[in-house]
């Protein structure tokens, strides 16, 4: 469990988001992420929109219930809700101050820890986490919770940052127990939580590098710190995974043996 309680962590995080140079970067957009910068995207807020679109692109169009874990000020949550107008979309966060702004954007807001979610099991069609799992205590607990709250067949889709060390950014923000530095270990951690159809891809060059360049525009004179921050990251990644379906009884089962990808919980012979 993290050293400081959730409210203290949230208040400290709020101060970072509100810092004047961060406000200069994001304006009133309600974002706090690196963005996704394909050719032609030159503005941070446009890149933030593209990151949300990239993460949401794997969510089935008939999804009805979604949670956005570590939702920040809710711009990404709002964009997901706009993409799925018939769905119930709720942002999850430790900070009440951030959640008040999420609510003001017209989406649901729930104060809960990503690693211990106050949600029922088997209830959610899609779990998103836009650049927040680096803070969780730990990803393994978050993945276990995401797997628990998703209905069979539900989707987890996210972006995440793997840091080589915690000191540069601050151990209060990056719990040392959460350290994963390779994509292979990341994939294994998702599989250990029970996920299938796992896709993990390196997005460092399309997310992290252009963001660091944008940071240099507003943090002039801090080149050494910026270089240390840039080099403390091993990977920025995009990942998606699915909770296995439970097979439905169908007539075809009379004629064939149907295999299930669901983990076996029963007594084996
Ligand atoms: C980098 S910001 C990303 C915010 C937002 N997803 C966006 O893209 O603009 C990380 C967010 O995760 C939240 N967070 C950090 N640890 C958390 C936890 N254990 N449970 C829930 N939210 C958490 C922070 O308060 C912050 O809102």
Regarding the beta carbon of 30 and ligand 1, being less than 6 Å apart is answered no
Of 146, 159, 23, the closest CA to residue 92 belongs to 146
Ligand 1, closest atom to CA 137? 19
How far, in Å, from the CA of 198 to the mean position of ligand 1?
23
Confidence of residue 3 (pLDDT cuts 50, 70, 90): low
Complete domains list, the chain, with CATH: 6-245 (3.40.50.150)
Please give the Cα distance from 216 to 227 (Å, whole number).
10
The mean pLDDT value for 195-212 works out to 98
Of 226, 153, 146, 236, the closest CA to residue 200 belongs to 236
pLDDT digit string, tens, across residues 31-42: 999 999 999 999
Regarding the beta carbon of 76 and ligand 1, being less than 6 Å apart is answered yes
Ligand 1, closest atom to CA 51? 8
pLDDT at 261: 54
Residue nearest to atom 12 of ligand 1 (CA): 70
Regarding the beta carbon of 138 and ligand 1, being less than 6 Å apart is answered no
Regarding the beta carbon of 71 and ligand 1, being less than 6 Å apart is answered yes
Phi–psi pair at 168, nearest 5 degrees: -65, -45
For residues 144 and 116, the answer to whether their CB atoms sit within 8 Å is: no
pLDDT at 170: 92
For residues 68 and 102, the answer to whether their CB atoms sit within 8 Å is: no
Of 143, 189, 185, the closest CA to residue 164 belongs to 185
pLDDT at 202 over 60: yes
Regarding the beta carbon of 174 and ligand 1, being less than 6 Å apart is answered no
Arithmetic mean of pLDDT over the chain = 93
pLDDT digit string, tens, across residues 92-144: 999 999 999 999 999 999 999 999 999 999 999 999 999 999 999 999 999 99
Ligand 1, closest atom to CA 68? 6
Please give the Cα distance from 234 to 231 (Å, whole number).
7
The mean pLDDT value for 157-175 works out to 95
* Angle of CA points 109, 110, 116, to nearest 5°: 150
Q: In terms of pLDDT, which residue wins out, 257 or 50? A: 50
Regarding the beta carbon of 72 and ligand 1, being less than 6 Å apart is answered yes
How far, in Å, from the CA of 260 to the mean position of ligand 1?
35
The mean pLDDT value for 173-190 works out to 97
Confidence of residue 269 (pLDDT cuts 50, 70, 90): very low
pLDDT at 163: 97
Pocket test for ligand 1, best of 52, 112, 135 (most atoms within 8 A of CB): 135
Regarding the beta carbon of 135 and ligand 1, being less than 6 Å apart is answered yes
The mean pLDDT value for 71-77 works out to 98
Of 144, 125, 124, the closest CA to residue 133 belongs to 144
Q: Does the predicted model carry a pTM greater than 0.75?
A: yes
């Amino acid at each position: 469990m993290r050293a400081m309680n959730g409210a203290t962590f949230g208040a400290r995080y709020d101060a970072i988001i509100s810092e004047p140079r961060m406000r200069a970067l994001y304006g009133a957009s309600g974002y706090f992420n690196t963005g996704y910068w394909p050719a032609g995207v030159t503005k941070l807020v446009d890149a933030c929109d593209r990151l949300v679109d990239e993460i949401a692109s794997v969510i089935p169009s008939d999804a009805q219930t979604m949670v956005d874990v570590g939702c920040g000020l809710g711009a990404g949550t709002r964009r997901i809700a706009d993409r799925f107008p018939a769905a119930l979309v709720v942002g999850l966060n430790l900070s009440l101050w951030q959640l008040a702004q999420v609510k003001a954007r017209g989406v649901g807001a729930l104060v809960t820890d990503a690693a211990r979610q106050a949600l029922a099991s088997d209830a959610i069609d899609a779990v998103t986490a836009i650049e927040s799992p680096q803070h969780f205590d730990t990803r393994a607990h978050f993945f276990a919770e995401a797997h628990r709250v998703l209905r069979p067949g539900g989707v987890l889709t996210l972006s995440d940052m793997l840091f080589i060390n915690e000191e540069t950014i601050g151990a209060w923000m990056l719990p040392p127990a959460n350290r994963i530095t390779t994509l292979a270990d990341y994939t294994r951690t998702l599989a250990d939580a029970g996920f299938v159809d796992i896709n993990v891809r390196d997005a460092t060059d399309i997310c992290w590098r252009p963001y660091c360049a944008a940071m240099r525009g507003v943090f002039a004179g801090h080149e050494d710190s910026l270089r240390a921050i840039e080099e403390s990251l091993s990977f920025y990644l995009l990942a998606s995974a699915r909770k296995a379906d439970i097979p439905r009884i169908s007539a075809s089962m009379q004629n064939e043996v149907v295999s299930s990808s669901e983990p076996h919980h029963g007594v084996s012979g």
